[in-house]
Amino acid sequence: MRLRSLDTLSGRFILIILLSMLFAQFLSVVIFRMQAQDIFASEQLNRQFVNAERVVRFLEGDTEQTVTPEVLLELPGVLAVHDTHSPWPQINTASRVKTDRFLKLLSGGRLRSVDAAVLPVNSYVDAPTGSVSNSALLGGRSFNHLYLSLEIGADRWFNIAFDVLPVRRPPIWPFLILITVSFLIVGTAAGLAANHISRPLNELADASRALGLGKDRAPLRVEGPNDLRQVLSTFNSMRERLEATLDSQKHILIAIGHDLRTPITALRVRTSLIQDPTERQNMDRALDELERLTDAALEAGKEGLEGEPMAVVDAAALMSSVCEDVQDLGWEVSFEDADEGALVRGRPEQLSRALKNILENATRYGARARVCLAADQHTCRINVDDDGPGIPEDLCDQVFDPLFRIEASRNQATGGHGLGLYISRKIVRTHGGDIKLRNRLLGGLTATIELPIVTQS
């Protein structure tokens, strides 16, 4: 199963859910362990009381047997027995427990009185002479001890300290299994919920990229929570309005281009009637420039409307064909193919038009063009070098604006109509690539056309 990146909405959603669950589980285990400590301590003390009652019943029930500390030490839970002339001295300073439960057990046997107290484990003192203790139970105890003083005769007391074996706490592995299973269940549910939320957003991102590249795409399905449905619905409405506006502008541009042909033709007829050869030549030159500008406007307007299908294109073969075509026109162009078999997806005629515009600029301003194609795993790069004067660095991006020319006179002899680079970049960007210009250190300009590589399965 592919791990989701934490830089995605789904990844962060799942991470937040799992971390929150981990914190809640950890807190619940800590609280349980704290409460279990008190429960275990209470259980320990209750067991000591039970063992103390057994001692009292034993002393009251068997009045014939001689009772020694060694005999009492064999009873369950007895930690130490002191055969002394006075009760436990610690009992006088400790919080006495209710001894009613022990006094009720007195039946007129050998016991005269009973006194008891619960003392911390560190209150245990060294046994005096004549006392015995159970060394197997000494040390390592963390619970309070029950101390019992039993008067069995004149100036004779049995002071008994009780202890029990530790209560076994529940093992930790069931908690680990519970946390793991909970993680799997909650993680799966969070993944499904995150996918339900992120899938429409991913489709929205894909649709936005397709819209920016001028690709046709069906409207997005409006589904999901209410706020997400509003976003998807708003995007569909925006896309429809934007496409309608762009189509309207393109059709207007095409219509203007067509309508200009009629007055241009009429002006050529009138120009032919001019008697002055110089004036007639100037008029023809102006009409030629106007006609080229009209053709360029028509070309820009028709971009994306001709419906040429997408195809997988061999970039090297396409570039070689374009170079051969422009060489037939007398342009000085050379082509070096460094990577054969670089495949791109696009419309061959549009890409040829974009490449021709770049080569035209290179040969117009730089006398000659040297073309080199290189490709890596993801990108095909076509570099077009010329020997021209270059352009100012601050204008390397502005020259792609429509009708922009560095030479402001708009003289066809010194510059084009200002739409060639605009059309070329528009075509390349609709194919998912880009065009960039940079000045070379040794003089001249380099135009780099980048197109995404098509991976073959």
Task: Please give the order of strands across the beta sheet that includes 156-162.
Answer: 113-119, 145-153, 156-162, 78-84, 131-133
Architecture (CATH level 2) of domain 308-452 = 2-Layer Sandwich (3.30)
Euclidean distance between CA atoms 26 and 18, whole angstroms: 12
Does 231 have pLDDT greater than 80?
yes
pLDDT in tens, 127-144: 444 455 554 444 444 456
Is 369 within 8 Å of 363 (Cβ atoms)? yes
pLDDT in tens, 356-409: 889 988 888 888 899 999 888 888 999 999 988 888 888 888 888 877 777 644
pLDDT reported for residue 384: 92
Domain ranges of the chain: 1-210, 213-307, 308-452
pLDDT reported for residue 168: 60
pLDDT in tens, 160-177: 888 765 556 666 677 778
Euclidean distance between CA atoms 231 and 430, whole angstroms: 25
The domain defined by 213-307 folds into Helix Hairpins (1.10.287)
More confident residue, 29 or 444: 444
pLDDT reported for residue 130: 44
Question: In the chain, what percentage of residues exceed pLDDT 70?
Answer: 77
pLDDT reported for residue 215: 67
Average pLDDT over the chain reads: 76
Q: In 3D, which of 112, 107, 117 has the Cα closest to residue 52?
A: 117
What average pLDDT does the segment 307-318 reach? 82
Is 48 within 8 Å of 163 (Cβ atoms)? yes
Is 159 within 8 Å of 149 (Cβ atoms)? yes
pLDDT in tens, 238-282: 888 887 777 777 777 677 767 777 787 777 778 887 888 888 787
More confident residue, 166 or 70: 70
pTM of the predicted model as reported, rounded to 2 decimal places: 0.49
More confident residue, 191 or 398: 398
Per-residue confidence band for 450, with pLDDT thresholds at 50, 70 and 90 = very high
Q: In 3D, which of 129, 168, 140 has the Cα closest to residue 79?
A: 140
Is 50 within 8 Å of 101 (Cβ atoms)? no
Per-residue confidence band for 96, with pLDDT thresholds at 50, 70 and 90 = low
Domains 213-307 and 308-452 belong to one CATH topology: no
Task: Report the Cα 453 to chain-centroid distance in Å.
Answer: 26
What average pLDDT does the segment 138-164 reach? 72
What average pLDDT does the segment 177-197 reach? 79
pLDDT reported for residue 3: 47
pLDDT in tens, 412-441: 455 556 778 888 888 888 888 899 999 988
